[in-house]
Structure 1
């Protein structure tokens, strides 16, 4: 694609920010989304400084009207959306299943699951009208395995896997590819909150086959592949970017 138009939710930090910068360096025009106006405008300015057109739209993916406005503004500005990266997500409040509450469930599932569905709804509307496009959702290795004390997050990311596969089948007749990236441990603020301290992070590194957590830039590269024409025959796929964790991890160390 020449100068593709890329829409990214959850773009202000971590993997979303790294992906926005990677696409800008590639020459893509961008619409970036998040919930914090000042940080969003700062990011849009940083992207524009790389020589591309960029616009920040404040939106919360939990709300249908805000997602509809986000997509409509992207179309009004650029005329199309070639790639959408549905990255907005939260780890929620980790804890045992015996302590799950209505509020904790809603806080996790409204963003990770409902937010993904609403983004797909409006991205499909735009991409069907233009004749196709590529959508990448963000799941996790926890969308393919269990983890104690994280039932809500694990459940939400499993849901994204199923939603991705169903949406891929719906999009196939319309030239819309839908895939998901499943990051393993990746050095983001969410990772720091989840692990808690350097000792825990060192322990994670010790059980990963390549002996380190990933970087946001490495996950961004996986997203770019799925979004690109190089993946033109790939849809309904969950791409692991996990340092070998799901290949066996601590059960089958590399050395």
Structure 2
């Protein structure tokens, strides 16, 4: 079955690289007009060009999701021209470290993007979605629910995303707004390649293989696999699903250990 988003209007944050780019590409290919809220102008314009080349519809909005007024201004402007159906909160940043080597500045940076950024977008879009219902999909992480070494700040932030998902789903059930989240394990994105290159120079292949094998299934996930799940959860076929976390983790949570 090919899930259709024909005539739907979707907003995807961080939609020009990694998982976000896979989602915007998949949504556009399924008929949606995708508004990409992306910090990098270069990445955003390139992603839009690629989508349009394949016949899809996409619009780039340069945006820092941690900026409350900027997010609201952009989302209100979109809503003034089109009826918004879907918000995917994908934008996020990573951090490696335990509580002792996580500085206040590190914590604030993670919080502002991964927690406040999600809040800002939900805050701005809910008044518009309440008019006719809609879908909010948040990107959490397996770190939301299981202990991951050296991921103190990141786990904190993604745990907040998970509980925000539950709260929004409960509060806006009668408004016809469905809110779910996806919790990926390690997914092979340009960020992973950059992290390995920076921290393990000369041992890239060895570390890639080692990180891949931390997933019980024996490999990292693909951005397209997460995008396929996102497509389903944002389609009409998932109309009975809300307030739910969907791990996509190669068996990590249940089979690791």
TM-score of the superposition, structure 2-length normalised?
0.91
1:72 to 73, 76, 80: 76
Compute the displacement of 1:190 (Å). Answer: 2.8
**1:86 matches 2:71:** no
User: What CA deviation, in whole Å up to 9, does each residue of 1:134-162 have, x standing for no partner?
Assistant: 01000001111111211000111111111
Compute the displacement of 1:234 (Å). Answer: 0.6
What residue number does 1:173 align with?
174
User: What CA deviation, in whole Å up to 9, does each residue of 1:7-40 have, x standing for no partner?
Assistant: 1000110000011111111111110111122321
What is the SS of the residue equivalent to 2:43? Answer: helix
User: What CA deviation, in whole Å up to 9, does each residue of 1:66-109 have, x standing for no partner?
Assistant: 111221232234x21111110000003x1221122111001111
- Kept in 2: contact 1:7–1:74 (CA 8 A): no
What is the SS of the residue equivalent to 1:207? Answer: coil
Distance 1:201 1:82 in 2: 38
Q: Tell me, which stretches of 5 or more residues in structure 1 are unaligned?
A: none
Compute the displacement of 1:194 (Å). Answer: 4.9
Counterparts of residues 85-234 of structure 1 (less than 5 Å): 85-92=88-95, 94-129=96-131, 131-194=132-195, 196=199, 197-234=204-241
Compute the displacement of 1:198 (Å). Answer: 2.9
Distance 2:213 2:73 in 1: 45
2:44 to 40, 45, 52: 40
What is the SS of the residue equivalent to 1:136? Answer: strand
- Kept in 1: contact 2:6–2:30 (CA 8 A): no
What is the SS of the residue equivalent to 1:33? Answer: strand
Compute the displacement of 1:231 (Å). Answer: 1.0
- Kept in 2: contact 1:137–1:180 (CA 8 A): yes
The structure-2 alpha-carbon separation of the partners of 1:153 and 1:236, relative to structure 1 and needing over 3 Å to count, comes to same
What residue number does 2:60 align with?
56
- Give the ranges of 4+ consecutive aligned residues of structure 1 lying more than 4 Å apart after TM superposition: 193-196
- Kept in 1: contact 2:17–2:43 (CA 8 A): no
What is the SS of the residue equivalent to 2:217? Answer: coil
**1:19 matches 2:23:** yes
User: What CA deviation, in whole Å up to 9, does each residue of 1:163-214 have, x standing for no partner?
Assistant: 1000111110100000000011100123335554332321232232221101
Distance 2:80 2:123 in 1: 18
The structure-2 alpha-carbon separation of the partners of 1:193 and 1:95, relative to structure 1 and needing over 3 Å to count, comes to farther
